Structure 1
Amino acid sequence: MKNAARILILLIVLVHVRDVWATHPIPEIQDTTTVPKDWFLRDPETDHVQGLSVEKAYNTLLRGRPSKTIVVAVIDTGIDINHEDLKDVIWTNAGEIPGNGIDDDKNGYIDDVHGWNFIGGKNGNVEKDTYEVTREYARLKPRFENADENKIAKKDKADYALYKKVKAKYDHDFKFNKDQFDQYNQQYQLYINAYGTLSFCDSLLRAQGDGKTLTKISLTAIAPKNDTVRFAKETLLRVLKESDDTTSVTNFLNELDEYLKQLKEGVDHYGTAVEYGYNMNYNPRTIVGDDPNNVHEKYYGNNDVTGPYARHGTHIAGVIGANRKNNIGIKGIADNVRIMSVRALPNGDERDKDIANAIRYAVDNGAQVVNMSFGKKFSPNKDLVDAAVKYAESKGVLLVHAAGNDNDNLDADPDFPNRTFQKGGQTKTWIEVGASSWGANENLVADFSNYGKKTVDVFAPGVEIYSTIPDNGYEDLQGTSMACPTVVGVAALLFSYYPDLTANQVKTIIDQSTRKFASLKVTQPGTANEVTLDNLSITGGVINAYEAVKLAESIKSTPANK
């Protein structure tokens, strides 16, 4: 659709919902037709998009140089390990004999050939789960629902304060998602009916003529043989009223079909949230078969590292390291990696126990960088995750985390997990990533991205990122989830070509080599305010592979840094 006005005409003509549309407009879809699919790999100077200069780094600084294979763990929804553009870069556990049902390498996980799945069990996999706010509300509600605030015991005051916070968020978020579902579903039903009517009109008129694609001109020339044909002709002409004479009905229907797909995604997203995410009676954990009350339990799950919901994780894997040499699909950022799939994310909120175990598994099995494109507002077992983060730091592993997509200031309203430990202190081998776009204007920072002058390290490309999805597919997705793997890819590239660098040094290089936009005022996400980029992040910059490689050349590791 060129704009919402054409769809409005369609609805007025076919279903008479002028008042409904005025109340619930669908936002414009951003036009990205002129932006290259691989814009995030390109160079700002030569290609005029705010990409990472990855190709420039390879062509001018790294050509012909030796590199070391780096293991990158993707803690996510699962990865399609058989994808045409990923199968050659998937990590394989050399210590396991596939399919023999034996823990050959004695690491506690049987047949973990390509990673491990902490949300699976003997009888399948968790696909959907509740949100943490739902689980916390369900836990605290029996204790405090009917409590007299004036009679709360001193030992219970902290829990009661948490209960009030959780309840307020649960009530707000459930209502928002239910309202969004109702609106999207209403509009989807209207559009699907409209699409059916238009398709019928198109088929009828083509059958009356020579069967060729109809345009505004050819429609005008049709002489109706009866009232049905007359209605069909008038309907299509009214829909095409604002179009060029050569616009075809088929093209219009194709555009409408694409719009319907976007609406359907909204229906599915908010429908899942209402039916599962905020459903206090839903518990898929029996599938896993672990003891939910034993947060220190480690050896559960299965070896299905793809699972039923691998779109998110597969997309991330492609950004990091899709095969750069096979001349198909896309090119990932790092050219010598092996990607380990650690499945711990359902369609819902991850659980602290699973994340802690996933981090430890990645570290123990050789990952040097870990991609963590997930987050939530409550973390009941944060101490467990903190211990795993400290463990990763002690082993020299770099953790890269997506800042989130709620246009929140993380300085004031933190997400979890994060670099700050519950008992004080911070990890030094953590990078927090916000999302940027391709243009050097006020929209450089993605309008959905979280930010924080003290909490978000860098911004990186996260808008309309084209990458792999299951079943040999490719798709544009956006979010800080997509920005995070661009940083992981650059980190893996640095580890690969400069194997003596430590995790702390790689973080420092990425931070210090960001491209700055000193005089540029950008829109602060979630507001109309214009601020400089250094008000939204620690470095005030966007990462750049070329600049990072140049800086890596000048840094020499020393025993004290190791």
Structure 2
Amino acid sequence: MKQGIFILMGVCMLLSLPSIASDKDKNKGVTTVDSLNTVNLNWYNMDPTKDKVLGASVDMAYQELLAGKLPRRKVVVAVIDGGVDIYHQDLEGKIWNNSDEIPDNQLDDDNNGYTDDIHGWNFLGNAQGENVENENYEFVRIINWLSPVFDTVTNPELLTGSLMEDYKLYQKCQSRFEAEVKKYTGQQENIKKFQERVDKTVELLKRSTKTDRPTKDQVKQVLPINDQETSAKKYMLFLFKKGFTFDMLDEMNEHVDKFLTYHLNAELNSRKVIGDNPYDSLEVSYGNSDVKGPRADHGSFVAGIIAANRNNNLGINGIAENVEIMVLRVVPDGDEYDKDVALAIRYAADNGANIINMSFGKGFSPLKKMVDEAIAYADSKGVLLVHAAGNDADNCDEVEHYPTKKFTNQWQAKNWITVGANAQKEGKKLTGVFSNYGQSTVDLFAPGVDVISIFPENKYDLSSGTSFSCPVVSGVAALIWSYYPELTSGQLKELILSSAYVVDKKVLLPDLKNSKRKKVPFQSLSVTGGVVNAYEAIKKAELMRR
């Protein structure tokens, strides 16, 4: 009985990998979209009524409302992310160019503080061209930051004011760190045991299969000569039936190892590559112009949804045609630094971005005031900021995720939209099981489950996450603004929210911890209770013009 439970636990652990790994993990991509399940191709452009798919009704907007019309301006969308493959075939002609900068002359021609920033800026690199790829989590860095102050505190009740607040933060981070280390060391041990069991099983079957990674068909053809081989065959076929693959086991090993080696490593100091003090808001001269970086899968995926060419008979169809992507590399594999986020937002606002897409987030923000000031600055310049709600199945009304439109002084950004993720069908599984939600904090939902987009090196991939519902909204906003440039960012936001396709049904509440999810009204999960809809928004924009 114990062995059976252990086997099942191991299989379940492996099958849960996609939700554990989240949308940030590396994949390999495919060279053509035909290699993927094409039922998912461009579904975010489809219409709820016409196609019976909860897409953003982009195609119908082009066909019925925008046919014969010409866009009236180019819209620049700043993608603050982990880097973008600006040479991808599906982004040809869609990358922002800084016309005031002369390429590769090692001079800051436009005097904006950034040398050779032709397509944006990389805040995760240095002048020698080195880049940061992996980082630890913010709560780990906060512990390192505050340990010298609080490690020797024996009477915390004597602390007052900001010191007491910092001490509470320190304790909260310590608790989170200890819990995460325990979780992943436990997973590592379980995976090790499971790996050993699989290895022994494979070895027993090797007489017949002649391989260390047998297929299901190869195992089926094994003719056991003893009880051990009989048991090994049954065990391996059981695993295959449950969805096991050797690649899945490799990915789980890599995933857990990455958490312990990088994300939860208190000794990691990736920032030394950059050479700045990440907590000094006055030290801003750092980075380089390599906007692709070593890990451009996530940012490329985001950019593709917004801007991939619609008329080149390649890959996917992005949402907005008359759009350019400004690339700002800020997000490592791990938590981004507040200073980088703040500087990237200011860069976007100062260099002509109309929309800022932020498909990232974290649970702690030590320099929140600095980020708040940058958001307020962009807000004051009429930039629309679009943020992913997050993938923790949290109620954002109760659990804070940063950055946020709420400032420390109780004011909030006006031109800000927070986006949850929905699936294709209008049924109980409409919400992404991972998606954060919040009746007062998440504005609306957008397609973000099983989405196909671009992948570096002219490849494509399928993934899920609010990271990918966020650019659907950014793309819709860019589409509308390109035809109706007279709209203010406030009017554009109101158009998008007021035109959402409202779903008056109960759905399964996002939950990553319990297999039995309770049903709740979809309208209770966001401000609008709806899914972004370009068709209805453009109809309203046309009425406003008249």
Please say which structure displays the higher CA radius of gyration.
1
SS in 2 for 1:171: helix
C-alpha distance in 1 between matches for 2:231 and 2:173 = 51
Asked whether the equivalents of residues 48 and 55 of structure 2 are also in contact (C-alpha less than 8 Å), the reply is: yes
Match of 1:369 in 2: 355
Letter in 2 for 1:414: E
Residue 288 (structure 1) aligned to one of 274, 279, 304:
274
List per-residue Cα deviations over 1:254-308 (Å, max 9, x = no partner): x86xx33333333323321211111111111111122334213222100010111
Structure 2, unaligned runs of 5 or more: 19-35
Tell me the residue number matched to 1:162.
169
Asked whether the equivalents of residues 201 and 233 of structure 1 are also in contact (C-alpha less than 8 Å), the reply is no
The residue matched to 1:89 in structure 2 has which SS?
coil
Decide which of 140, 150, 153 is 1:144's aligned counterpart: 150
More displaced stretch, 92-101 vs 396-405: 92-101
The 1:147/1:69 distance shift into structure 2, 3 A limit, reads same
Confirm or deny: 8 A CA contact 1:122 1:287 kept in the other structure: no
Q: Is the 8 A contact 1:447 1:525 kept in 2?
A: yes
Q: Which residue of 2 aligns with 1:116?
A: 121
Asked whether the equivalents of residues 83 and 295 of structure 2 are also in contact (C-alpha less than 8 Å), the reply is yes
Q: Residue 40 of structure 2 contacts residue 452 of structure 2 at CA under 8 Å; is this kept in 1?
A: no
Q: Equivalents in 2 of 1:484, 1:181: separation in Å?
A: 33
- 1:39 paired residue number: 43
Go from structure 1 to structure 2 and tell me whether the alpha carbon gap of 1:102 and 1:377 turns closer, same or farther (over 3 Å shift). same
Which stretch shifts more, 143-152 or 499-508?
A: 143-152
Q: How does 1:395-544 map to 2 (within 5 A)?
A: 395-526=381-512, 528-544=517-533
Deviations 1:362-420 (A, max 9, x none): 11111111110111111111110011101111111000001111111111111111000
Residue identity matched to 1:92: N
Q: 1:126 aligns with which of 118, 132, 150?
A: 132
With structure 1 as the length reference, what TM-score do the two structures score?
0.84
Contact 1:114 1:341 in 2 (8 A): yes
Task: Select which of 96, 104, 108 maps to 2:109.
Answer: 104
**Residue identity opposite 1:43 in structure 2:** D
Alignment-derived partner of residue 64 in structure 1 = 68
Q: Secondary structure at the match of 1:363?
A: helix
The equivalent of 1:20 in structure 2 is 6
Structure 2 matches for 1:24-423, cutoff 5 A? 24-26=10-12, 28=15, 35-67=39-71, 68-123=73-128, 124-149=130-155, 151-155=157-161, 156-184=163-191, 186-187=193-194, 190-191=197-198, 201-202=208-209, 219=221, 259-423=245-409
- In the alignment of these two chains, the number of paired residues is 516
**2: CA distance, partners of 1:331 / 1:180:** 39
Q: Structure 1 stretch 542-551 or stretch 381-390: which is displaced more?
A: 542-551
1:546 matches 2:535: yes
Change (3 A) 1:81 1:158: same
Q: Deviations over 1:306-354 (max 9, x none)?
A: 1111111111111111111211111111111111110001111111100
Contact kept in structure 2, 1:524 and 1:531, CA below 8 Å: no
Counterpart-to-counterpart distance in 2, 1:367 and 1:195: 55
Distance 1:264 1:488, change over 3 A: farther
Shift of the alpha carbon at 1:523? 2.5
Instruction: Give 3-state SS (helix, strand or coil) of 2:89's partner.
Output: coil
TM norm structure 2: 0.87
Identity percentage over the alignment? 42
Check whether the contact 2:134–2:333 (CA below 8 A) recurs between aligned residues: yes
For structure 1, list consecutive stretches of 5 or more residues without a partner in the other structure: 1-11, 205-212, 244-251, 558-562
Question: How much does 1:187 deviate?
Answer: 3.9
- Specify which structure has the bigger relative contact order, considering alpha-carbon pairs within 8 angstroms and separated by 6 or more residues: 2
Tell me the CA shift for residue 19 of structure 1: 4.7
Q: Distance in 1 between matches of 2:311 and 2:503?
A: 34
Q: For residues 285 and 431 of structure 2, what CA distance do their matches in structure 1 show?
A: 41
Q: Is contact 1:321–1:337 with CA below 8 Å preserved after alignment?
A: yes
